[in-house]
Structure 1
Amino acid sequence: MKWLALLAAVFACGAVSAKQPDALFYLMGSSKSVSSFAAHVDKIGLLVPTWYGVDNQGLVNGGPNQYVLSIAKQHRLPVEPIISMTAGRNGFHALLHDETAKQHMIASMLQQAEQYGYAGFQFDFENISWTDRDAYSLLVKQTAEALHQHGFKLSIAVVPNAPGHAGEGRFSKWMWRYWRGAYDLAALSQYADLICLMTYDQHTRWTTPGPVDGMPWVLNHLKYALTVVPREKLSLGIALYGYHWYTGDPVRDDGTEASNIKADYIDADESILLAQEQQATVQWDPVEHESWYYFYRDDMREWVFMPDAHGFRDRYALVKQYGLEGFCSWVLGAEDPKVWDELPVVQR
C-alpha cells in the first residue's frame, strides 16, 4: 500500500490539483475592460465587477452594466460584484461599529442579488485600521450568514499580511497599521466562501521601483496564507498591469519643493508601446519572474515593471502546484493579450 501513502503525500504538499483552477477576473467600467470581457467570456470562471459602493451609514449605491450582465447570463457565467467603501477609513470605522448601518448594507446586498441574479458579492474593503480587525471579521460573519441563508456567496479580497505582524521597518509598520493588520485570515476564511489574496503591488507609488509581484514575495505570502486558509478557499492574486516610475515635478501646488518620485499604473498595451517608442530592451528577471525595462528621458532614468504572459504563466503554474481554488486577476483590459493562450475554455 506504499503507493497510497505516496499519493496522499503528493496531495498534502499541493503538487496536484484535483480540478481546473477557477479563473476569477475583475472588471472595471472602462470600454477596454468591457471589451476584454466580451472577447474572452468563455475563459472566465467568475466575474467580479466594480459595481457597488457603501457609505458610513450603510447606504449601498451602484448597479450592473446591463450589457455585461446579459452576456454573463447567456454564457452561464456567475457574477459576484465588488462592494467597496466610498467614505474612506473613518467612514468604514463608523460603519463597522453601527449595527443599524450594517443591517442596511446587508439588506441592500440581498435585494440586489435577488433582483439581478448574482451568485453573491465580494468585499473589497482596504485602507482599514488594524484596530478594526475584530470588527471587520464580525461584519464578514454577519454578512456571510445572511447571504448563505438565501443561497448567495461571499468572497473577500485581502491584502497579504505575512509574517503576521508589523515587521521591523517604519514602512512595514505603516503597512500593517492601515493595510495588512485588519485581515484575520483564519476568521475570514471560516466565514467566507473564498479568500482572494491580493499578491500584487509589492512595489507601488509609495516605494522604490521594483516588481509588481515578484515571485519570492508571492511565495512568501502564499505559504503564510496557507497556514490558516484552506487551499480550497484560497485564490491567488495575479497582476495584469504594471507600474511606470519616473521623476515628477518637485514644485508643489503651494510653491514649496520636495522630492517627487512618481509611479503610474500602466496597462500592457501602453507598456509594450512605450518600450518600442523609447527603444528599450525588455528584460526578464529569472528570480522575480517578471519582465522589466528602463530608458532615459531628459537624462533621467525611468523604470517600467510589466507583468506579461510569461509572468502570468509562471504564477498560474503556482496555482496548480499548490492545488489552490484558483486565481484572481486585476483587471480585465490591462492584460498582455497572450495571457489568454494560457487558459482553457471553462466547462460550465
Structure 2
Amino acid sequence: MACGAAMAQQPEALFYLIGMQKSVNSFVAHVDKVGLLVPTWYGVDSQGLVNGGPNQYVLDIATQHRVPVEPIISMSSGRDGFHTLLHDEVAKQHMIESMLQQAQQYRYAGFQFDFESISWTDRDAFTLLVKQTAEALHKHGFKLSIAMVPNAPGHAGQGRFSKWMWQYWRGVYDLAALGKYADLICLMTYDQHTRWTAPGPVDGLPWMLEQLKYALTLVPRQKLSLGIALYGYHWYTGNPVRDDGSEASNIQASYIDADESFPLAQEQHADVQWDSVDHESWYYFYRDDMREWVFRPDARSFADRYALVKQYDLEGFCAWVIGAEDPKVWDELPVVQR
C-alpha cells in the first residue's frame, strides 16, 4: 500500500508563460517542477491568419528537460473579428492548417484555445470550432486544451454586472460539449474581483469551490484543471480628469506581482492580513489620505488551492502566470517525474 501511495500520480502542474523576462527567468529556474508549459505565443485574426512563434530559448530549455509545450492561440482582432472567424469555414481551415504546421515544426504537444470576451450568441459556433480543431489535431497526435471563464450557476444571474459577464464572458462556453471534444479544460478560477469591480479576493476559496463543483457536474475530473492566480490586484484612486478634459469617477485596479506587492507592504508599513474565509492575503494603506487596497495570493493561499486539486482528484492546476508568484510557492511542489 505504501508503494502504491508513493506511485500515485501528482496533479499536472500547468504554468502559463508570457513575454516578460521575469516569466522566462522563473521558468528556467523551476523547470523541473513544471509539468506543462503554456506560453502566449500565437494569435489569429478574422481571416484565420495565425501569427506568432516560439521563444527559441524557452523552447530549447523545455525540450532539454522534456517539458511538453502547448502554446496559447488567442484572438487578435477583437470580439467582432472573432465572430467573423467563427462563421467563415475557409478562415477556420486556414487557422487549423497553420496550427498543425507549427505543431509539427516545433514539436508541440498541442495548442490551447484562450478565446475570451465572446458574445454568448456565438456559443454553438465556438463549440463547432473546438470540435473541428480537436478532430484535426487528434488525427496528427496533438492535443487541444481550452482556457475558459468559469460560468456557474449556468445562467445570467440577477444583477447587471452578472448579466454583462454572461453576455460576453461566461455564456459562450458550453462546458459539457467542450469537455467532450477537448483534452483538457483549464477553468480560469481567478479574477473574481478585477478592475471592473470593487476590491476583493482575486480567487476566493468559496467562489472557486462553487465554480469547481458546477464544472464537475459537466466535465470528468480527469479533464479538469483548476485555475490558480499567482498575481494580485492593487486598487487605488486614479486621475478624475479624462484626456478630453471631462471629469468622472476613476477607480483604478492594476495587476501587482509578488515582487512588487511584498515590498509595497513593507514600504507602507501595512498590516498584512489573512482572510480565513477566502484564504487570501490582503492589506491596505493610506496615500494622500485615501485608502489603497492590495489583494495578493501567496504561498499559503497557493497551498490551500493545491490541496483542493488533490482533494477532488483533478487532472491538475493551471497557474497564471509564472514569474508573478511568491517564491515560496515552489516549496509546495514536487519535482515532476517524466
Q: TM-score, normalised by structure 2?
A: 0.98
Contact 1:18–1:323 (CA under 8 A) maintained in structure 2: no
Residue aligning to 1:286: 276
Q: In the alignment, residue 291 of structure 1 is paired with which amino acid? A: S
Q: In the alignment, residue 104 of structure 2 is paired with which amino acid? A: E
Alpha-carbon distance in structure 2 between the residues aligned to 1:317 and 1:267? 22
Residue aligning to 1:68: 58
Matches within 5 A, 1:20-31: 20-31=10-21
Instruction: Look up the SS of the partner of 1:167 in the other structure.
Output: coil
Q: Deviation string for 1:199-234 (max 9, x for gaps)? A: 000000000000000011000000000000100000
Q: Deviation string for 1:210-262 (max 9, x for gaps)? A: 00000110000000000001000000000000000000011111111111000
Matches within 5 A, 1:22-171: 22-171=12-161
Contact 1:144–1:154 (CA under 8 A) maintained in structure 2: yes
Alpha-carbon distance in structure 2 between the residues aligned to 1:299 and 1:336? 29
Residue aligning to 1:246: 236
Match status 1:220 vs 2:220 = no
Q: Quick one: which of 305, 312, 315 aligns to 2:305?
A: 315
Residue aligning to 2:4: none
Alpha-carbon distance in structure 2 between the residues aligned to 1:65 and 1:41? 15
Residue aligning to 1:12: none
Alpha-carbon distance in structure 2 between the residues aligned to 1:254 and 1:49? 38
Alpha-carbon distance in structure 1 between the residues aligned to 2:275 and 2:9? 30
Alpha-carbon distance in structure 1 between the residues aligned to 2:274 and 2:174? 35
Q: Deviation string for 1:128-153 (max 9, x for gaps)? A: 00000000000000000000000000
Instruction: Look up the SS of the partner of 1:295 in the other structure.
Output: strand
Alpha-carbon distance in structure 2 between the residues aligned to 1:40 and 1:184? 35
Shift in Å at residue 18 of structure 1?
5.2
Alpha-carbon distance in structure 2 between the residues aligned to 1:246 and 1:288? 21
Q: Deviation string for 1:27-67 (max 9, x for gaps)? A: 00111000000000000000000000000000000000000
Instruction: Look up the SS of the partner of 2:73 in the other structure.
Output: strand
Alpha-carbon distance in structure 1 between the residues aligned to 2:247 and 2:63? 54
Match status 1:235 vs 2:225 = yes
Matches within 5 A, 1:321-336: 321-336=311-326
Alpha-carbon distance in structure 2 between the residues aligned to 1:153 and 1:113? 10
- Number of residue-to-residue matches in the alignment: 332
Shift in Å at residue 269 of structure 1?
1.1
Q: Quick one: which of 174, 178, 183 aligns to 1:184?
A: 174
Residue aligning to 1:301: 291
Instruction: Look up the SS of the partner of 2:32 in the other structure.
Output: helix
Q: TM-score, normalised by structure 1?
A: 0.95
Alpha-carbon distance in structure 1 between the residues aligned to 2:9 and 2:61? 25
Shift in Å at residue 19 of structure 1?
2.1
Alpha-carbon distance in structure 2 between the residues aligned to 1:311 and 1:64? 32
Unaligned runs of 5+ in 1: 1-16
Alpha-carbon distance in structure 2 between the residues aligned to 1:233 and 1:19? 14
Instruction: Look up the SS of the partner of 1:161 in the other structure.
Output: coil
Unaligned runs of 5+ in 2: 1-6
Q: In the alignment, residue 235 of structure 2 is paired with which amino acid? A: W
Q: Which runs of 4+ in 1 moved over 4 A?
A: none
Q: In the alignment, residue 270 of structure 1 is paired with which amino acid? A: E
Q: In the alignment, residue 314 of structure 2 is paired with which amino acid? A: L
Shift in Å at residue 274 of structure 1?
0.5
Q: In the alignment, residue 268 of structure 1 is paired with which amino acid? A: A
Q: In the alignment, residue 198 of structure 2 is paired with which amino acid? A: T
Residue aligning to 2:267: 277
Q: Percent identity, aligned pairs only?
A: 83
Q: Quick one: which of 243, 247, 264 aligns to 1:257?
A: 247
Q: In the alignment, residue 322 of structure 2 is paired with which amino acid? A: L
Alpha-carbon distance in structure 1 between the residues aligned to 2:20 and 2:152? 33
Instruction: Look up the SS of the partner of 2:131 in the other structure.
Output: helix
Alpha-carbon distance in structure 2 between the residues aligned to 1:36 and 1:216? 29
